Chains A and B, each alone.
Chain A
Amino acid sequence: MLTKHSENQLFHTFDETLRPQIEELLSLGKSAGADLIEIFLEKTDNISLLAEQDDISNVSPSFGIGAGIRVFLGKKDGFVSTNDLSKAGLLFALSQALGMLGLEIATQNKHNFEGLDSLKDYGIKKKNWLKDSPDINESTIKLLDSTKLLSSKNKNLEVRRASYSRSWQEVVIAATDGVFARDIRLHQTVGMNVIAIKDKNRSTSARRYGSSGNPNDLRNWDINKSAIELNESAEQMLNAEYVEAGQMPVVLANKFGGVIFHEACGHLLETTQLERGTSPFHDKVNKKIANTAVCAVDEGLSNYAFGSLSMDDEGMEPQNTLLIENGILKQFISDRAGALRTGHPRTGSGRRQNFSFAAASRMRNTYIKQGTYSPDKLIESIDKGLYCKSMGGGSVGPTGQFNFSVEEGYLIKNGKLDKPVKGATLIGEAKEILPRISMCANDLDLAAGFCGSVSGSINVTVGQPHIKVDSITVGGR
């Protein structure tokens, strides 16, 4: 029924005092013959709130603890996760991870592990983040203010929803190569979505904003600006007609327009994809893969950006990784396993949703750098095409083919924006589209999002300036 008291020492206080217990576990793993053992400990304290119309309809706090233990032997690895942070629980998880690779905990030969380095404590300056964040009361007031503001701006809004979620995470990472690091992460998102109904027409519109490491983010949220933007979009799309399908030039707006680069190109530059043999760019380092107008980076350093971090989930500080320079592929995004299996050096990009996933090479803040044109110049260069003001989600197939829905689109006629259109989907393949990005505007901006992949759903930033794609398939009716 219950764990025995003697085995019940808990790994619940994440600080230097954990050193002897962690070193003992790592030493046991090393003695068993593993090349490397990594322990990831996690505590979370999250809350999500939902306001619908003029009521708070959901307040959901959640707490979590867990550990992930990863063992490498040669190029293979075994990974076990558990909610049980007792010594017995972690020992059991370690023995399982070792067992996956045919190893057993030995009682002899404990001298081949030299111990952990000094604790790198990135969390020490962040200890007040949780208490400095808005409490439930303050958060609910702000959300209700936002839905009330929406109703005052548009009588056609039948559904008005606003949500807030705060995710606080404390982690400790330790590995037999000496890594011993602690961090605290704080991510906040606010979302608004509406349904407008007029006669037989319906339109939906949604926006999400997010930040990392900024306890005041919700307080600073400009609900008036968001409400105006959302109302304009819903109202325009209420009168939109279905777009006619075909091949055409498009201009993609900045901010969340960058989701296409993230999905269609960024993922193919992760070593995870190289390992699978599914990246068409696997042999293209220092070769041209995009139009010379394209320079792109992935970094984890921008202040308060949703994908920024002090260290990745393998204890490495994030790098500013230049992916594409003037159309030439420069570097891949790599983690520990990626470096081991593909030879591409780590970039501080080992990321995971939580303890139950092994880290994998994942993007952080990924964007196309800005160019020199004003956004109007891009529109003016097109006789007949599509302006994608707001993008929805999308997906990428295993061989690089992608599709994205356009939430808010406008026809371009004779170099000017024309009527709004709905139902558009952009379809293409990364290696064919990258050479067709011919113009980048001078208005780079970023947007927060969640990215789901092999190591779960993580916080990322996408971004770009306005860009022009010379030709792309637009799905419609």
Chain B
Amino acid sequence: MKNVNFVKKISKHLPHYISLIGIFVATVLAFYLFSYDRFFLVGVSLAFSLAYIAWGIIHHLIHKDLTFLVVIEYISMSVLGLIIILSLIFRN
């Protein structure tokens, strides 16, 4: 029953999650295909971080549950992800 609810919830937001997964797949592909181009990877990292924050804001805005703390949460996740990736790019 719980699984059914979870699937229902995901299905309801399917267009949102498809776009999110699309961003992620494009990012991973960019890292795989252009691993030799450090500056391009930095650009991709910045772009996906901003895209994730934008996705969070738009998603919660549409569902009318956007709060300041939610925005901070997405920013925190993005900053953490960005630091992890940039550390590896520049440490290489």
Do A and B actually bind? no
A contact residues vs B (CB 8 Å cutoff): none
B contact residues vs A (CB 8 Å cutoff): none
